Amino acid sequence: MEKKLPKVLISDKLSESSIDIFKKQNIDTDYKPGISSNDLLEIIDQYDGLVIRSSTQVTQEVFEKAKKLKIVGRAGIGTDNIDKNAATKNGVIVMNTPYGNAVTTAEHTIALLMSLVRMIPRADDSTRKGKWEKSKFNGTEITGKTLGLIGCGNIGSIVSNRALGLKMKVLAFDPFLTPEKSKELGVEKVELDFLLRNSDIISLHTPLTEDTKNIISAEAISIMKKGSRIINCARGGLVDEVACRAALETGHLAGAAFDVFTEEPAKANILFDAPNLIATPHLGAATIEAQENVAIQIAQQMADYLNTGAVTNAINFPNVSSEEAPILKPYIRLAYLLGSFLGQVTQEGIHNIKLELEGKASNIQDGPLLASALVGILEPSSAAVNNINSSSVATSRGISLSTIKHERQCDYETLIKLSIKHDKGDRTISGTLIAGDKPRIINIQGISIESDFPKNALYLRNYDKPGFIGDLGNALGRKGINIASFHLGRRDVGGEAIALVEVDGGIDDKIVAEIKDLPQVSRVNSIYFD
């Protein structure tokens, strides 16, 4: 039977280069720019991937309808038009292209900065009208002035580089900016209040979040220098537009330049007739080069994921390179199976989950392994858990998560140990890979045991006493259940022991109850590995 090709929908206008990349990567592609929200809901269940720009709104309803959807790719930086919580809940990866239009947006910021301090748009309009008002448009030099950057990531760092080249001093407020990085960039990392009070021009380069909404508020504007200026090429909503308008009218702000607005398309806005305002229609990424770059990048990223599992520039999942993806695959499977065991044998409330990696496992990326292990643990109590949302599901239940990589040598080439703390104590299981990709159990509760992951099995805690194996075999035999394999381990002679018994066919609750009544048995669980 011929394998069905992955299918992608492009719902916004995008360079045809993206379609060419998808086709070369054997991905079926439909190009429907400008599709209505209702039509999108009607057809989205046909697609494995969705490519958007800023127009398409990927809402919770879209994700609920998109049963096949694996990935949403934003050709650009901003993902405000994607319900990322709904994406994560439904196991859909969200990608963007943070570098494809970074230079273009930074250059637009500098263009607005120069236009603002030299009043170029107003002077142009006046001159075209034959007024020749030379004395009216005395500008301001930027040499020696202080530029305050709110956000110093991909775009902000490029702006800082250009500003330093123009002999400006640059301050930066960014909680994620390290002292080492600020030194490398040649900027001074400061707190927001200091930046507001000491900047001649403030430029915003941060995402719109609950924390950054109206970060330039009326109060913030009030403590800015009289005669200072604001530039926003990031996201509408970062600046209180009403407060900005008032400050422009009083002259407290000498000017403002906006490329983005709270509501877009901005056919009307309170700022539009304010004095000393420059407004552009979200042109930050609007260059030929940027449009081509983001189209190529998002298509390649999505094709890599759909074909190989590689994850690049994901918003809600750790990045996995195309080289890492095949290496990680058996480890991810092993982590899931170990988690599945713990999830099936644990009915108590879980407080902590710990993943430990030794040998070769300690040299690979741990994020996808932890995500997969959590799926296995949480599946019995949460049908909606998946690799994308497993961490958030766990933390929402108050479960703390940790990962430890041990550099020490171990008895196995690679080893993964998964531990949980629950209401009544601890539970652990360890596993390895045989022949590079075959998962195997090697230890349960600190007791050595060698077993694969059988489809149907009984897990028993018992006392190492004569007659146990016979009693168990008789109990299963009376029910017509055949033992396929039998794996035993014990802590010491006559002490605590465990057994993993593979059987042909399923095991009902009555059989489990009968086995539990055997005198040597302290606990028994029916388990299943898919």
Give the catalytic positions in this structure: 235, 264, 282
What CA–CA distance (Å, rounded) separates 172 from 163? 12
- The 8-class DSSP code of residue 23 comes to H
What CA–CA distance (Å, rounded) separates 340 from 145? 60
What CA–CA distance (Å, rounded) separates 110 from 495? 75
Give buried/exposed letters for 147-156 (b at 16+ CB in 10 A, else e): bbbbbbbbbb
Q: Cβ(8)–Cβ(27) under 8 Å?
A: yes
What CA–CA distance (Å, rounded) separates 373 from 353? 9
Q: Cβ(302)–Cβ(338) under 8 Å?
A: no
What CA–CA distance (Å, rounded) separates 443 from 450? 7
Which has the closest alpha carbon to 153: 119, 122, 136, 178?
Answer: 178
Which three-class secondary structure string do you get for 49-105? EEEECCCCCECHHHHHHCCCCCEEEECCCCCCCECHHHHHHCCCEEECCCCCCHHHH
What CA–CA distance (Å, rounded) separates 270 from 256? 13
Per-residue CA distances from 138 to 111, 134, 229, 273 (Å): 18, 8, 16, 21
Q: Cβ(274)–Cβ(256) under 8 Å?
A: yes
Strand, coil or helix: 456: strand
What CA–CA distance (Å, rounded) separates 231 from 218? 16
Which has the closest alpha carbon to 455: 493, 503, 498, 420?
Answer: 503
